[in-house]
A and B are shown apart, each in its own frame.
Chain A
Amino acid sequence: MNPIREFELALTRRQLFGRAALGVGTAALGRLLLASGLPATPGAQRHPAEGFLTGLAPKAKRIIVLFMNGGPSQMDLWDYKPKLAEKFDTDFPEEIRMGQRLTTMTSGQQRFPVAPSIYKFNKHDNQADGVWVSELLPHTASVVGDLCVVRSMWTDAINHDPAVTFIQTGSQLPGRPSFGSWVSYGLGSMNEDLPTYVVLHSKVSNGKVDQALFTRLWGSGFLPSEHQGVALRHTGDPVLYLRDPDGMDRKSRREMLDDISVLNQGYFREIADPEVTARIEQYEMAYKLQTSVPELMDLSKEPNEVFELYGEASKEPGTFAANCLLARRLAERDVRFIQIFHRGWDQHSNLTGDLPSQCKDVDQACAALVKDLKRTGLLEDTLVVWGGEFGRTVYCQGALSRENYGRDHHPRCFTMWLAGAGVKAGTVYGHTDDYGYNIVDGSGNVVTPSVDEWVPGTVHVHDLNATLLHLLGVDHTQLTYKYQGRDFRLTDVHGHVVHDILA
């Protein structure tokens, strides 16, 4: 781009502003400016250096992450271990644990009694050898033909705050940009009137919100803050400060924005700072958001079948089901990164009391989302990811009975599933040992996964993020941002694209 030419253009635009003033409205102007590519951050590193795209046509245009905060028990949902039934209350063998560290919640326990899942697993056909799914997820089980179930996820962190921060930002310590903000930074927006990165928080029906979230999880870290996730709320304004105050009608708002625009144009004529025109553009965007967001949130035109598909709860704003329905609407509107948080998956005790209601909150809606995206053709280029920050132990935390037990955090293996764009549908990836404790190879030998060198059959958090970026057409090693003298990336200096799970 030629800066001289750009300046002349900017000067020409001012005449246009002059005409647009009073009456005509400046909405069209906003679009014009948008096309000019004026940055929202003067002087900042606006876009990644060239060459971060893989060069391959991206399989996924957008991504929906269903995040189960707290660490869902893979032992009771996805990782079927029939041989454990007869090992009830036996001591978890040291040769399986191999001295691995435990959290201080159970490291002082005198015994580590094995707690087999009390839930029935059924085998469901997928597009390969079938997959065993717990009775707690009957709806999700019905779409396994579209899922790639990864049983060999593993992570570095053993406690919630660092583990959630790790899977969201690629670092256990605060300060790094979240996945969604990296995507926003790298790929930008696909739509004109909605944010690029949207976050939805879900109600938990049993009320046990015993795990916290942190703004950093959708923050932009050291990236410019325009890339941070925008929370779409179910109470108050759906987007913060979206609604004009009571007593102000749209006409007054429009007139006020026109006045602001004209006055800003005058200021631009005086000081010729391109930032002024960028400001005018952002006020127009704000005006558009005031229309596009309520339209997005308005479910009244959704047919009844849709609510039936997502379940009764989808009629209640803020439920996970309602958020899944919104996720589909966001995907339809080409929002790039959509993330739904559901809390309360930290079953240290009373697992059988709490896990069923957690599953009930999400099961039908997860399946509905996959079906709905498929029905509308969006699944072709939309990626859906389900999972939490780590798994749970095979041994019981606290009191073990035939009816109830608890499980501590387990970073060495856990289950996630992926669906949609570019993912090998109807398959299962990775194996764990008979205790669901270590990742093993196809012959049942324990493998030692490594963050430095990828071991086939294993999927580290960095590998997952690298793979998701790959599906979005991004080379995770090249999408960098220079900060404090270093080129940072989501996957740090690690990550391996796991081609085995790609179609």
Chain B
Amino acid sequence: MPFRVVFSSMLGRARTLLAVLGGTVLVVAVAAPPAPAPQKSSRKIEYGRDVRPILSQRCFKCHGPDAAIAKTNGLRLDLAEDLTRDRGGYSVVVPGKPDESWLIARVTADEATRMPPASDSKKGLSEEEIAVLRAWIEQGAEVKPHWSFVPPVEPKVPKNEGPKWGRNPVDAFVLAGLREHGLEPVPEADRHTLARRAALSLTGLQPDETLLRTFLQDTRKDAYERYVDQLLASPRYGEHVARYWLDAVRYGDTHGLHLDNERLVWPYRDWVVDAFNENLPFDKFTVWQLAGDLVPKPTTASRLATGYVRMNPTTNEGGAIEAEVFARNTFDRVDTTSTVFLGLTVGCARCHSHKFDPITQEDYFRLYAYFNSTKDKPLDGNLLTPEPVLPVPSPEQAAQLTRIRNEQISLLKAVRASDLSRWSETLQSDPPSPGPWEVSQSYPAKDFDTAFASELGPEPGGAESNATWKPIEVPLGRVKEGIGGRENAAVFLRTVLTAKKEGKQTFLLSSDDGVRVWVNGAKVHENKVLRGATAPPDTVETSLKLGANELLIEIVNSGGPDGIYVLFEDPLPAKARDAAKEQAKDPSGHALTKLYLGSGPDTPAAVRYRALVTEEGKIDAMVPRSLVAEEGPTVPAYLLRRGEYDQPQQEVKRGLPTFLGELPASEPNNRLGLAHWLVSKQNPLTARVFVNRIWQQHFGTGIVKTSEDFGSQGEWPVDKPLLDWLAVRFVKSGWNVKALHRLMVTSAAFRQSSKISPAALLTDPENRLLSRGPSFRLDAEVIRDQALKASGLLVTSEGGQGFKPYQPEGLWEAIAFLESTTSKYTKDTGPEIYRRSLYLFWKRTSPHPTMLTFDAPMRETCTVRRSRTNTPMQALLTLNEDAYLESARVLGQRLAQERTSDHDRLCRLFEATLCREPKPDEMELLLGAIERYRARFSAAPDQAEALLKVGDYPPPAEDVAAESAAWMLVSSTVMNLHEFLNLP
């Protein structure tokens, strides 16, 4: 009889392992997740599944791959040769002879000498663990590399005896697993259930009514397959599956740290949606995201995809140390890439070699070296579009821009070379020179706005004509910090500028924070801004008299030290010199000619050109941008002691973790080479990791439950041959993602009824063996979108900026910086608010409560598996949140206006929400409910009216108010059913 394991986690607090074998029942409490513990020596021990978890959990801490520690102990239990080596008359393991093996002697020794020592572990190994070790040694003590580190080989599809069942090879594997545990599959779910299940699983929404009805009436043999194909062809599919990807890559619309300002990267999100909808092969999907800038001919799409690399949370906190932030950003990229594509947690190796997996600290920094040379700055500048960014014009915008640019080029080409050279010769730099500088006392105000707006000091029209002036050094072209302005205060600087020529003069000026400038008593510039003096300077244009000119600068500081940067160089001559060089190198760039038409004499061509530039600028300003990665010069990487940015040790070159092999010499040793390797046959992990996540999407739990960890601490796959078969087939299919979804969703396993039999609950409580159809709570987005769709409110417009629906007041305000661009929440108006949750504006430090309450992650870190909780807060949400109430109301209003019987209206309600007809007892109960509410609201029309006020959608006419309110409550009742919240 095959041994049988019951894992009863869902039934109670104690984690009890019930092993039934040979008539003996052992009940043992173990730490989760338990490896099945075979007891009979006749049973084949799998080193990776049975032995290694024991060694890695109980022994590797001191005797594992972390060589630095193992050295001091002289023994590494992860190395086969170390196990059997002769240690002067004895060996740790003597294959076939447990009683002669030192390992057994030590783990069974008394308290004083046993391993693991009492100082490390309160308990020694359990009897079962020791029995496993004994059996393993008896059977020859074979040590195999960890299963997931060996590339998958396509296994044979099992041939099952007994009654035939199944529709595709997946089922053959499932059936074999079930029979091994004495279980049989259950019959197929009814069509209504299947329709809703497949649509929710593939598109995150219930099916359109027409699609549903067509399917229900379709009597062809392959009606279900046809239905699935239509779902896969729907744009809703790409949106739904993209959302899992966005969790993994931690997509957000804000920087994520400290000020948490908005950032522009949603075109990347839309690219992911499109990629899934267009069924971009997963290998290309991978390569573009990691290295779309480095592929031979980068396209807008491939470059856009590199938003992946930029997705880590960033900061620009005042005081932040750039090198520290840089290291953290890079860590995050390494850790995420590792989890998303390799299913490995390498983060531990940042500080020390991994204790359980063969990842050394040096390995970690080899990976780090691939991600440390992008051009983006470590500090985000709190900017919406920290460079590099890619403009992503719409087709209309692109057409307009092409037209404008073509006309610009013809104008540029028409400029005569002689005109150009004559103009360049007239340009020479002759900047005015400042005399000694003086500084005033400071003029505080109650806040920054007042300090900026008020005329407090010696400026023209100012309150004080007799300021006290003191000399001060103001270096040109360098930042001067600490002029003396206090918090929310103005301070003035003055000097006399001597101009050697009369006329237009440009100079560069930056300030901490705001600034106003007067020349000869006339205001020539002001910029109300919060910034540091190192920020990109303003260009101030003025005209000077020959000789002395009075210059007065007011700096208005909000807090911290103030500062100034000023340079009187006229930038034009220098620009022209550079442009001339550039044009000589690349005549088609017209660098100098552009400058000539833009800043030279006002010829008709120049006037037209400038108008075109303005127009281009206007359109361009409307063109969305998206953060992308661009490779800069290779920055040397160093092993950082304990992962501390300020403790660099030896230099480390780019490379794979050693245990995964090497990049082929033909590959460039950069992100592109790494990406190519990820989708190569040499990589044992990526295909497995991805198919496992798709499995998790449809069946609730991965074949490897720990979908984020395929390392030795992760769970052994519940069906390794199935996982390998899927992975190999996926690669063979050309990484065809839609085909993979189709394979799973059209399997007989997926199509089973989700009724639980007592035997299944006992043997397969978590449905890991698929003894029934998948049934689990839907994700936050799906629940919300479903409610909107049932009411008809859902707006399916695709892409674009994140939207802001109803949100309780004060959530952002309670936590945000006042200066943050996301400190105040302003709800959108109009149909925007009814969009799919995928497009919600995602503020990482305060995601929308409808999402968080139902286990959506913050998107600050990579998440490939959400928790699935069941809490009273969720009940309150679906009962009382505006969008849910409004959905119930609008659905109620529609039902109220239908001129049919209550019975028929209830059928409509069930179809819109649960895709099925009510059962007789449900019908009876809800007919009673509608009568009850109808009577109540007829007697209390004011209550009905109050209830119908929720949400922006227009309320019904007064004469149907009571009826609408009654149907609203019945709709809300159905939208709060377990069945509505769950995959059926």
Residues on the B chain within 8 Å of A44, using CB: 9, 867-869
Nearest-neighbor residue (CB-CB) of B972 within chain A: A256
Most buried by A among B714, B815, B852, B973: B815
Residues on the A chain within 8 Å of B714, using CB: 485
* Interface presence of A127 (CB below 8 A): no
* Interface presence of A272 (CB below 8 A): yes
Q: Would you give the shortest CB distance from B56 to chain A, in whole angstroms?
A: 9
Sorting the interface of chain A by its residue count into under 10, 10 to 19, 20 to 34 or 35 or more gives 35 or more
**Given A42-B868, A101-B321, are A201 and B814 neighbors across the interface (CB < 8 Å)?**
yes
Contact check, A173 vs B332: say whether CB atoms are below 8 A apart: yes
What are the nearest 5 A-B pairs in CB distance? A103-B319, A247-B947, A485-B713, A247-B946, A175-B861
* Interface presence of B157 (CB below 8 A): no
* Interface presence of A434 (CB below 8 A): no
Interface residues of A in 188-230 (CB under 8 A from B): 201, 209-216, 219, 222-226, 228, 230
Which of A232-240, A359-367, A412-420 makes up part of the contact surface?
A232-240
Contact check, B979 vs A267: say whether CB atoms are below 8 A apart: yes
Q: Which of A39, A246, A283, A289 contacts B949 (CB 8 A)?
A: A246
Contact check, B978 vs A349: say whether CB atoms are below 8 A apart: no
Q: Which of A41, A47, A212 contacts B258 (CB 8 A)?
A: A212
Interface residues of B in 812-829 (CB under 8 A from A): 814-820
Which of A1-9, A80-88, A117-125, A294-302 makes up part of the contact surface?
A1-9
Contact check, B922 vs A266: say whether CB atoms are below 8 A apart: yes
Contact check, A201 vs B815: say whether CB atoms are below 8 A apart: yes
Q: Which of B766, B809, B869, B929 contacts A235 (CB 8 A)?
A: B809
Residues on the A chain within 8 Å of B965, using CB: 247
Q: Would you give the shortest CB distance from B379 to chain A, in whole angstroms?
A: 10
**Given A3-B6, A214-B845, are A174 and B13 neighbors across the interface (CB < 8 Å)?**
no
Q: Would you give the shortest CB distance from A108 to chain B, in whole angstroms?
A: 6
Contact check, A266 vs B775: say whether CB atoms are below 8 A apart: no
* Interface presence of A14 (CB below 8 A): no
The digit string for B748-780, where 1 denotes a CB below 8 A from any CB of A, is 000000111110011001100000000111000
The digit string for B309-333, where 1 denotes a CB below 8 A from any CB of A, is 0000101011111100000100110
Q: Which of A43, A350, A406, A484 contacts B701 (CB 8 A)?
A: A43
Q: Which of A158, A231, A244, A276 contacts B879 (CB 8 A)?
A: A244
Q: Which of B709, B860, B867 contacts A41 (CB 8 A)?
A: B867
Which of A257-265, A374-382, A425-433, A456-464 makes up part of the contact surface?
A257-265
Residues on the B chain within 8 Å of A267, using CB: 977-979
Interface residues of A in 1-59 (CB under 8 A from B): 1, 3-4, 6-7, 37-47, 49-51
**Given A37-B13, A236-B808, are A349 and B559 neighbors across the interface (CB < 8 Å)?**
yes
* Interface presence of B247 (CB below 8 A): no
Contact check, A209 vs B817: say whether CB atoms are below 8 A apart: yes
* Interface presence of B456 (CB below 8 A): no
Which of B172-180, B219-227, B393-401, B480-488 makes up part of the contact surface?
B480-488
Bound complex: CA of A213 vs CA of B816, how far in Å?
Answer: 6
Residues on the A chain within 8 Å of B875, using CB: 282-283, 285-286
Interface residues of B in 861-892 (CB under 8 A from A): 861, 867-877, 879-881, 885
Contact check, B943 vs A286: say whether CB atoms are below 8 A apart: no
Nearest-neighbor residue (CB-CB) of B757 within chain A: A272
Residues on the B chain within 8 Å of A485, using CB: 345, 356-357, 706, 709, 711-714
Bound complex: CA of A17 vs CA of B247, how far in Å?
Answer: 39
Contact check, B810 vs A51: say whether CB atoms are below 8 A apart: no
* Interface presence of B969 (CB below 8 A): yes
Sorting the interface of chain B by its residue count into under 10, 10 to 19, 20 to 34 or 35 or more gives 35 or more
Contact check, A225 vs B852: say whether CB atoms are below 8 A apart: yes
The digit string for A241-273, where 1 denotes a CB below 8 A from any CB of B, is 111111111001001100110111011101111
The digit string for B846-862, where 1 denotes a CB below 8 A from any CB of A, is 11010011010010110
Contact check, A275 vs B870: say whether CB atoms are below 8 A apart: yes
Q: Would you give the shortest CB distance from A140 to chain B, in whole angstroms?
A: 25
Contact check, B922 vs A408: say whether CB atoms are below 8 A apart: no
Interface residues of B in 259-287 (CB under 8 A from A): 259-260
* Interface presence of B10 (CB below 8 A): yes
Bound complex: CA of A4 vs CA of B762, how far in Å?
Answer: 6
Q: Would you give the shortest CB distance from B868 to chain A, in whole angstroms?
A: 6
22 sample A-B contacts, Cβ–Cβ < 8 Å, listed by A number = A37-B13, A44-B867, A50-B29, A106-B319, A109-B482, A160-B317, A161-B258, A174-B313, A210-B818, A212-B258, A240-B849, A247-B946, A256-B973, A259-B929, A271-B775, A279-B870, A283-B872, A397-B561, A409-B319, A482-B33, A485-B345, A486-B345
Bound complex: CA of A256 vs CA of B969, how far in Å?
Answer: 8
* Interface presence of B392 (CB below 8 A): no
Nearest-neighbor residue (CB-CB) of B355 within chain A: A486
Q: Would you give the shortest CB distance from B513 to chain A, in whole angstroms?
A: 13
* Interface presence of A311 (CB below 8 A): no
Q: Which of A214, A226, A242, A264 contacts B880 (CB 8 A)?
A: A242
Contact check, B858 vs A215: say whether CB atoms are below 8 A apart: yes
Nearest-neighbor residue (CB-CB) of A348 within chain B: B560
Q: Which of B345, B348, B876, B929 contacts A241 (CB 8 A)?
A: B876
Contact check, A486 vs B879: say whether CB atoms are below 8 A apart: no
* Interface presence of B921 (CB below 8 A): yes
Q: Which of B313, B701, B873, B976 contacts A240 (CB 8 A)?
A: B873
* Interface presence of B945 (CB below 8 A): yes
**Given A3-B765, A348-B560, are A212 and B861 neighbors across the interface (CB < 8 Å)?**
no
**Given A237-B808, A243-B880, A271-B755, are A108 and B481 neighbors across the interface (CB < 8 Å)?**
yes
**Given A212-B259, A272-B755, A485-B713, are A289 and B926 neighbors across the interface (CB < 8 Å)?**
no
* Interface presence of B122 (CB below 8 A): yes
Bound complex: CA of A486 vs CA of B950, how far in Å?
Answer: 47
Residues on the A chain within 8 Å of B328, using CB: 173
Contact check, A240 vs B861: say whether CB atoms are below 8 A apart: no
Nearest-neighbor residue (CB-CB) of A349 within chain B: B487
Q: Which of A224, A290, A349 contacts B486 (CB 8 A)?
A: A349
**Given A247-B946, A252-B933, A486-B348, are A216 and B860 neighbors across the interface (CB < 8 Å)?**
yes
Residues on the A chain within 8 Å of B881, using CB: 241
* Interface presence of A159 (CB below 8 A): yes
Q: Which of B709, B815, B929, B969 contacts A214 (CB 8 A)?
A: B815
**Given A3-B761, A212-B820, A486-B348, are A240 and B484 neighbors across the interface (CB < 8 Å)?**
no
Residues on the A chain within 8 Å of B317, using CB: 159-161
Contact check, A286 vs B879: say whether CB atoms are below 8 A apart: yes
Bound complex: CA of A310 vs CA of B949, how far in Å?
Answer: 40
Contact check, B947 vs A233: say whether CB atoms are below 8 A apart: no
Contact check, B561 vs A398: say whether CB atoms are below 8 A apart: yes
The digit string for A107-118, where 1 denotes a CB below 8 A from any CB of B, is 011100000000
Given contacts A271-B755, A279-B981, 20 further A-B contacts (CB under 8 A): A1-B8, A3-B18, A41-B869, A42-B868, A45-B9, A103-B318, A104-B319, A108-B481, A224-B869, A226-B870, A233-B810, A235-B810, A260-B976, A270-B755, A278-B870, A282-B870, A397-B561, A398-B561, A485-B357, A485-B712
* Interface presence of B347 (CB below 8 A): yes
Residues on the B chain within 8 Å of A173, using CB: 328, 331-332, 861
Most buried by A among B922, B929, B978: B978
Q: Would you give the shortest CB distance from A61 to chain B, in whole angstroms?
A: 20
Q: Would you give the shortest CB distance from A239 to chain B, in whole angstroms?
A: 7
The digit string for B765-809, where 1 denotes a CB below 8 A from any CB of A, is 110000000011100000000000000000000000000000011
Q: Which of A42, A212, A244, A285 contacts B260 (CB 8 A)?
A: A212
Q: Would you give the shortest CB distance from A286 to chain B, in whole angstroms?
A: 4
Q: Would you give the shortest CB distance from B490 to chain A, in whole angstroms?
A: 14
Contact check, A264 vs B816: say whether CB atoms are below 8 A apart: no
Contact check, B347 vs A484: say whether CB atoms are below 8 A apart: yes
Contact check, B870 vs A49: say whether CB atoms are below 8 A apart: no
* Interface presence of B11 (CB below 8 A): yes
Residues on the B chain within 8 Å of A104, using CB: 318-322
Q: Which of B339, B482, B922, B932 contacts A399 (CB 8 A)?
A: B482
Residues on the A chain within 8 Å of B765, using CB: 3
Contact check, A245 vs B14: say whether CB atoms are below 8 A apart: no
Nearest-neighbor residue (CB-CB) of B885 within chain A: A245
